[in-house]
Amino acid sequence: MTGVWVAVLVTAAGCYALKLTGLVVPRGVLSNPRVRRFAELVPIALLAALVAVQAFGAGQSLTIDPARLAGLGAAVAALLLRAPFLVVVVVAAGTAAVLRALGVA
Amino acid sequence: MARARVRPVRDGVALGLAVGVSGVAFGAAAVGSGMNVAQACVLSLLAFTGASQFALAGAVAGGAGLIGGVAGAILLGSRNALYGLRLADLLPHRGIRKLVAAHGVIDETTAVTLAQPDVAAARLGFLATFVTIYLTWNLTTLLGAFGAGRLGSPQSLGIDVVGPAAFLALIWPRLRAGRTERAVGLAGAVIALATTPFLPTGMPVILAAFAALGGALISPQPASPQPESPQPEVP
């Protein structure tokens, strides 16, 4: 539990430092278009990786959990229908929960 | 004069309320992944940037990979530094007010601030969005964290799907922005899955940053002109 507290506080400090950095660094630092583009693309690469790992991961091995994948499929459907963030999340969790409760997945 | 003050406040409060309630999803996911209520709330209070918070919760659920999880969560916060660059001229320039304003530099405040016609309206829009979303996000984090523990096991509630569904919703507008964005997302996912069996938890996600590096080297310019403000999502 102590480890989690350290992780929480270090993450919070790092996130705040990044926010402040943008307000205090000279503007020229990120004038290079490749640096700017990298900073734009990093969240996409990391978030996509997180989706994949959390969809198929079970610790260090890969697994197929039908209820979890069905929930993510429902999230995609909700996104295609332009549902707001919270609706997407609730539909995804609800789909997995219902399938598990019914014992079909 | 009055009307010039109404619009930024209205924009900020509306967006702040709409997005801030997503804290309930974070609170539930954090407790479902093994954090306690206090840890979930402190993270929302002090980190206050959604993607990083969900990422750290995912790492805690994964078990051993806390160092990798922290690194990934902080890396995800790097876009806020870019937002700060764009907001620096519009926000307070020095002192404690600048230090407080920095905490509010996230997707939504940037979107509202940059959409205003002048500096006074921009500052008002920033303040309205920051205050609304900060209160809502933290209050609903507390509700979600308490609720998740009371209602049943995380697995039976489908809370293991909340994290990936939230990430998917977060990148969805960016994936629609262009071919490079989609290629980078796909490459990031493939890199992470391919290395998962061989690396400690958390590291595969950080390695996925190489997909962004490749994308930036191959296609330094966005396909379409950059929108004036970022897509609103969760903080």
Q: At what angle do helices B209-218 and A33-56 cross, to 10 degrees?
A: 140
d(C-alpha B150, C-alpha B27), whole Å: 13
CA distance B95 to chain A (A): 12
Check CB contact of A45 with chain B, cutoff 8 Å.
yes
Could you say which of A48, A57, A79 has the minimum Cβ distance to residue B196? Answer: A57
pLDDT for the residue B230? 55
Which of B212, B155, B101, B21 has the alpha carbon at shortest distance from A47? B212
- Tell me how many residue pairs between chain A and chain B have CB atoms under 8 A apart: 320
CA distance B83 to chain A (A): 7
Q: Is B97 exposed, middle or buried (0-12, 13-18, 19+ CB in 10 A)?
A: exposed
> Strand ranges (DSSP E) for chain B?
none
User: Which stretch of A27-31, A82-86, A90-94 has the lowest confidence by average pLDDT?
Assistant: A27-31
User: Could you tell me the two tokens for B31?
Assistant: 């407790």
d(C-alpha B47, C-alpha A22), whole Å: 16
pLDDT digits (tens, 9 = 90+) for A18-71: 999 989 987 666 677 887 788 778 888 988 998 999 899 887 789 999 999 999
Are B186 and A44 contacting, i.e. CB atoms less than 8 angstroms apart?
no
Are B47 and A25 inside 8 Å of each other by CB? no
The sign of the torsion formed by the CA atoms of A18, A22, A25, A31 equals positive
Are B169 and A21 inside 8 Å of each other by CB? no
Are A97 and B166 inside 8 Å of each other by CB? no
Which of A96, A41, A55 has the alpha carbon at shortest distance from B192? A55
pLDDT for the residue B227? 46
Check CB contact of A69 with chain B, cutoff 8 Å.
no
Are A42 and B78 inside 8 Å of each other by CB? yes
> How open is the CA angle B63-A93-B15, to the nearest 5 degrees?
100
Check CB contact of A89 with chain B, cutoff 8 Å.
yes
pLDDT for the residue A66? 95
Q: Within its chain, how far is the Cα of A28 from the centroid?
A: 30
Up-side HSE of residue B212: CA atoms within 13 Å toward CB? 27
Are A20 and B213 inside 8 Å of each other by CB? no
A35 neighbourhood in chain B, CB within 8 Å: 216
- Per-residue pLDDT 10s for chain B (235 aa) are 466 778 889 888 888 887 888 899 899 999 988 999 999 999 999 999 988 999 899 888 866 578 888 998 998 888 788 788 878 888 988 889 999 999 999 988 988 888 888 999 999 999 999 999 999 999 999 999 998 877 777 778 888 888 889 888 878 888 888 899 999 999 999 999 999 998 877 778 889 989 999 999 998 776 544 444 455 555 5
d(C-alpha B206, C-alpha B192), whole Å: 8
d(C-alpha B159, C-alpha B136), whole Å: 21
CA distance A95 to chain B (A): 8
pTM: 0.78
Are B46 and A9 inside 8 Å of each other by CB? yes
For an interface test with B, the pick among A25, A32, A41 (most B C-beta atoms closer than 10 Å) comes out as A41
ipTM comes to 0.86
d(C-alpha A46, C-alpha B185), whole Å: 8
User: Could you tell me the two tokens for A23?
Assistant: 């307000």
